[in-house]
Structure 1
Amino acid sequence: MTGEFSRRSFLKYTALTAVVVAGSSLLTGCGGDAPVQRAVGTSNRVLKVVSKLEQVECDAASDTTFKLVVTNGRNNALEVTKANFAVKADGYLAYQNDKLQVTSPDALSHQVKKGETVTYYVTAKGLNALTDGPVTFTFYPDLEYSEFSANWELTADALKSAT
C-alpha cells in the first residue's frame, strides 16, 4: 500500500465515522431518565409529568409523610396508585407493602387526566426521615416505563432546613 489516501477512501471513512458517532449517541438514551433533587420544594419533570415535593413531615409515631403535587402533561390519563411510589433509607424499604400508605384529597379515582393537578400524601410507616436518613423518595409516573422516575434524595440537613 502506498500510504496515499484517495478522495473516495476519505469520504467512505468520514461517512463511517459519522454513522458510528450518531449511533453511539442513540445508545446513551437506553439508560433511562432518573432526575434527582436534593431539597424539599423542588420539582422533577419525567415523561411530561411534573411532580413537586412540597412538604415532608415526621411525626411522633416515627412516620414520615411526603406531600407530592403531580401535574399530568401527557395526552393520556395517568394511573396513580401505591405502586407508583417508593421510599428507601438505610435498612428500610416501603414499596407496595403495608409500610406505604397513599392518600389524595383531590382525586376521587386513581386517574390524573391531561392538564390536571392532584396532590398525594405518601406516608412511610415506621420511618423517621430525620434520624433514619438519608431517605430516597421515588415517584414512577408510568409503571410501563419504570426506568423513568423522579427522585428526591433527602438528608437530615435538607429536611431540617425545609421545616
Structure 2
Amino acid sequence: MSFEFSRRNFMKYTAVAAVALAGASLFTGCKNSGDSYNLLKEGAGELTVLQVTAAMGKYDDKSKKYTAPDITGTTTTIEFPMKITNNRTNPIYVTPNNFKVVVTSSDGKNVKKYSVTIEDALKDTNLKKGSSVSGNVTAQGVDLKEGDVVVLTYCPDLQYNEYSLNWKLTVSKKESSASTTSTTT
C-alpha cells in the first residue's frame, strides 16, 4: 500500500475542498444578511425581509411611532395603512395577492382567512429600487370578538412565499391608543 500523494491528487483534493467551502457559504447567506423567514411584529411598525421594507400603521411625526388601526364592531371593515419600499435591485409587484388577513378566536379554535383589496395608490406592477408606495389594505366583513387575534400578512415576493412580514393585533374591550390594542363595542 502506497502513501504517496502526487501533485495531481493534491490539486484534485484542493479543488474539492474549495467547492465544499464555497457551497457551505451559500447555506449561511440568509443568516448573515439578517433575513428571517417570517417576521412578526406585535402592533404597528416597520419590518424588512428580502430587502423590502413595509410599515403598517399611521406614522406620527411628533412621537416618531406607528399606531395600529382601530378595530371596532363585531362585523367590520379593517383598513391597514401601509407603506412599502423596495430596496432590491429587481422591481417588485404589489397586488392584493401579496396580502392576507387571518383572524384567530381567543380560544384558538376558530381560524378565518379573509381576502383583501388594496387602494390604487398602493398597487404597483413595477416598484423599482428605492421607490415607495403608500395606501390602505382593506379586509371587509371581518367578524371580531374580544380577545380575537388579527394578523395581517404581507409577502413581498410571491416566488419566495416562505418569506413574509406579519403584524399581530389583539382585539380588546377597553379603548386604547396602544399599537397592539384595538377597540370593540
Q: Calculate the TM-score normalised by the size of structure 1.
A: 0.69
Unaligned runs of 5+ in 2: 1-19, 58-67, 105-110
Shift of 1:106: 5.6
Sequence identity, in percent?
Answer: 25
Q: Partners of 2:170 and 2:77 in 1: how far apart?
A: 16
- Which of residues 86, 94, 99 in structure 2 aligns to 1:72? 86
4+ residue runs over 6 A deviation: none
Contact 2:122 2:134 in 1 (8 A): yes
- Give 2:71's aligned residue: 58
Q: Partners of 2:147 and 2:119 in 1: how far apart?
A: 23
Task: For residues 1-57 of structure 1, give each alpha carbon's deviation from its aligned partner in whole angstroms, at most 9, with x where no partner exists.
Answer: xxxxxxxxxxxxxxxxxx8xx96x938969x611110021x1110100000112424
Q: Partners of 2:83 and 2:129 in 1: how far apart?
A: 14
Unaligned runs of 5+ in 1: 1-18
Counterparts in 2 of 1:150 and 1:106: CA distance versus 1, 3 Å: closer
What CA RMSD, in Å, does the superposition of the two structures yield over aligned residues? 3.2
Contact 1:35 1:151 in 2 (8 A): yes
Q: Partners of 1:81 and 1:44 in 2: how far apart?
A: 18
Q: Choose between structure 1 and 2: higher helix proportion.
A: 1
Contact 1:51 1:69 in 2 (8 A): yes
Counterparts in 2 of 1:64 and 1:132: CA distance versus 1, 3 Å: farther
Counterparts in 2 of 1:113 and 1:127: CA distance versus 1, 3 Å: same
Q: Partners of 1:38 and 1:106 in 2: how far apart?
A: 23
SS at match of 1:126: strand
Q: Calculate the TM-score normalised by the size of structure 2.
A: 0.61
